[in-house]
Amino acid sequence: MKISKKIDDSIELKFSKIARKMNKKKQISYSLGLGEPNYQTPKFIADEAYRSIKKGFTKYSSPIGDYNLRKKIAEKIKKENKINAKPDEILISAGSKMSLYLTLLSLLQPKDHIIYISPCYTSYLPQILLSESNIEITSFDLNKEFKIDFEKLKKKIKKNTKAILINFPHNPTGQILKKKRTFRI
C-alpha cells in the first residue's frame, strides 16, 4: 500500500504540541486538544494497575483483546442493546483511531467511494487515506443548523460507495441524531 502524501499532523495534534509547551511554562493549566484531562489518574485506578503488574499481568495479551473482557462486553451489548455477539466477534483496540483504521482497512478497496460528513473529527480524512489511498472521497457538508440533509446525502451515493462515516453525538458540533430519522437507500 502506498501512503498518501496528503496526510499531515491533525489540528488537534498541532494544538496539543503548543499547549504542552505552554503548560511547561505555566501559561495555561490544561488543554482540550487531545481530550487530555488536567488531573492525574485517580488513585484507585493506579493502585489496580499496580496490583495487576504485581500479579504478573505484564505479558502480551491476545491481539483482539482479553477474552474475559470481550465476554463481558458481549453480555453487556446483548442485555442493553439487544445485539447477539460472541466474544470471538469482538475486537478491543487501542482507541477510536485504531478502530476506525481497522474497519476502513477491512472495507475499502481501490476505486471504492467513501463519504464523510463535514465538519468532522479531524482524523477522519487521514484514517481514510491510510486505509486506501486510491479511492474516491466525498466530503458532505452539514446544513446551516449542523444537521444532515438526508435527501441531499442520498444523491451523493454511487454504485461504488462502500461507506458513509457518520458520528453522533457529532464531533465537533455536539449535534445528536434524532431516533425518528430514517434513511433508506
57-107 pLDDT, tens digit per residue, is: 888 888 899 999 999 999 999 999 999 999 999 999 988 888 899 999 999
SS3 154: helix
Residue 72 domain-assigned? no
- How high is the pLDDT of residue 37? 65
Find the CATH number of the domain harbouring 125: 3.40.640.10
SS3 81: helix
pTM over 0.75: no
Residue 56 domain-assigned? no
CA distance 185 to 169: 23
Closest CA to 130 of 92, 163, 98: 98
Range of the domain at 127: 94-185
127-173 pLDDT, tens digit per residue, is: 898 888 788 999 998 888 888 888 899 999 999 999 999 887 777 77
Please return the burial class of 6, using the count of CB atoms within 10 Å of its CB with bins 0-12, 13-18 and 19+: exposed
Residue 65 domain-assigned? no
- How high is the pLDDT of residue 169? 78
What is the helix (H) or strand (E) element at residue 52, kind and residue range?
A: helix 43-54
Residue 13 domain-assigned? no
Residue 89 domain-assigned? no
Please count the structural domains in the chain.
1
